[in-house]
Amino acid sequence: MSRKFFVGGNWKMNGTKKVADDLLGNLMKGSLDPNVDVLIGVPALYLDYVKEKSSCCIKVAAQNCYKVEKGAFTGEISPAMLKDIGVDWVILGHSERRQIFQETDLLIAEKVNHALQSGLSVVACIGETLDEREAGQTESVVAKQIKAIHEKICNWDNVVIAYEPVWAIGTGKTASPQQAQEVHKILRKWLADEVSEAVSQKTRIIYGGSVTAANCKDLAKECDIDGFLVGGASLKPEFVDIINAKQ
Rounded Cα distance between 63 and 60, Å, is 10
Under rule CB under 6 A, which residues in 4-43 are in contact with ligand PGA?
Answer: 10
Q: Does 159 bind ligand PGA (CB under 6 A)?
A: no
Which one of residues 84, 170, 193, 197 is an interface residue with ligand PGA (CB under 6 A)? 170
Residue 209 lies near ligand PGA (rule: CB under 6 A): yes
**Residue 231 within binding range of ligand PGA, rule CB under 6 A:** yes
The residues carrying an active-site annotation are 94, 164
Number of neighbours of residue 26 by Cβ within 10 angstroms:
15
Q: Which residues pair with 8 in a beta bridge?
A: 39, 229
Q: How far is the C-alpha of 178 from the C-alpha of 245, rounded, in Å?
A: 17
Asked if 94 contacts 124 with a C-beta cutoff of 8 angstroms, the reply is no
H or E element that contains 227: strand 227-230
CB 180 within 8 A of CB 222: yes
Minimum CB separation from ligand PGA for residue 170, in Å? 4
**CB nearest ligand PGA: which residue?**
231
Which one among 40, 169, 183, 243 touches ligand PGA, defined by CB under 6 A? 169
- Among the listed residues 164, 224, 226, 238, the single contact to ligand PGA using CB under 6 A: 164
* Shortest Å, Cβ 212 to ligand PGA: 8
Virtual torsion, Cα 33, 119, 94, 7, nearest 10 deg:
0
**Residues 112/93, Cβ–Cβ less than 8 Å:** yes
**Mask: binding to ligand PGA, 50-89, rule CB under 6 A, as x and -?**
----------------------------------------
CA 197 – CA 193 distance, rounded (Å): 7
Query: Is residue 211 at the binding interface for ligand PGA, with CB under 6 A as the rule?
Result: yes
Does 206 contact ligand PGA by CB under 6 A? Answer: no
Q: Write the CB contacts of 226 (distance below 8 Å, at least 6 apart in sequence).
A: 3, 4, 5, 6, 160, 204, 205, 206
Stretch that binds ligand PGA, among 75-83, 151-159, 184-192, 208-216 (CB under 6 A): 208-216
The least CB distance from residue 96 to ligand PGA, in Å, is 7
**Interface with ligand PGA (CB under 6 A):** 10, 164, 169-170, 208-211, 229-233
